Structure 1
Amino acid sequence: MKKHLLWMTGLLACTLSWAEIKVVYHLSEGIPQASRAIGNIRNHLAADPTAKIVVVTHGLGIDFLLDGATNQMDQPFAGGVSDLVNKGVEFRVCNNTLVSRKISADKLLMEAKVVPSGVAEVAKLQANERFVYLRP
């Protein structure tokens, strides 16, 4: 009986771990794409507050994470990013982009984490951590 119960507990744990929704939002196109993504992520979390969301940025996609960045209506991104971080969203920025664009990491919002390569981060999340890929 103990073995059967242990087996069932393990099966349930595996089932529950597969049920977790993990999504990587890939941003590389600048402010308009970032504005869409922020709205998409808010809607996503409203529908599924338990979703694990990671936003990976490179190229022009990092611009909304720069200190003082605003959207097309001149509204700062910082508040929206901070709100999403408080809901568990992670923001990752490509170091290759920072180096090639000569942007210091201290120009980023404090919520942003620098990773070696944006595209490698997206691939790692998909291949190793079973994240679903979305590109708004």
Structure 2
Amino acid sequence: MDPRVVFHIDETQKWNLIINSVHNLLLSYEGIFPNAIVEVLANSEAVKGYLLDGGIADSHTMEALSQKGVRFVACNHALQGMKITKEQICQFVKIVPAGVRELVDRQMEGYAYIKP
């Protein structure tokens, strides 16, 4: 069975760490687990990392990772709390109603949970 992993970020200063961790995980799986499922869930202030203009995270690297199959997810409650609209975030980001629900659902599906 291929691994399923959800990375959880809720602090803006940890975006580089998350992106590097996702990248390193994918590299370690090359040729071994080609169908690994990796999701990055941002809630709280970390949703600012998905902003198109002035985002905290490297959107070019995130987009490249999304093209490799990494799913980037944002909590709608956090977006609303930060007054961020769907139009202000990267197009490859999926918005879910509640980040905590997303984490629970993924863990119930057997995803490994990583929070640096």
What is residue 58 of structure 2 aligned with on the other side? 77
Deviation, structure 1 residue 69: 3.4
Q: Distance in 1 between matches of 2:100 and 2:88?
A: 21
**Match for residue 20 of structure 2?**
39
CA drift at 1:70? 4.9
Give the aligned residue type for 2:51. L
Residue from 24, 44, 60 that aligns with 1:59:
44
1:102 to 49, 58, 83: 83
Identity of aligned residues (%): 27
Runs of 4+ displaced beyond 4 Å: none
Describe the SS at the equivalent of 1:39: helix
Considering fraction of residues, name the structure with more helix.
1
TM-score using structure 2 length: 0.90
TM-score by length of 1: 0.78
Equivalent residue, structure 2, for 1:135? 115
- Correspondence for 1:122: 103
Match of residue 6 from structure 1: none
CA offset at residue 89 of structure 1? 0.1
Unaligned runs of 5+ in 2: none
* Long gaps (5+) in structure 1: 1-18
- Of 22, 26, 36, which aligns to 2:8? 26
Flag the structure with more relative contact order, 1 or 2, with Cα contacts below 8 A and sequence separation at least 6.
2
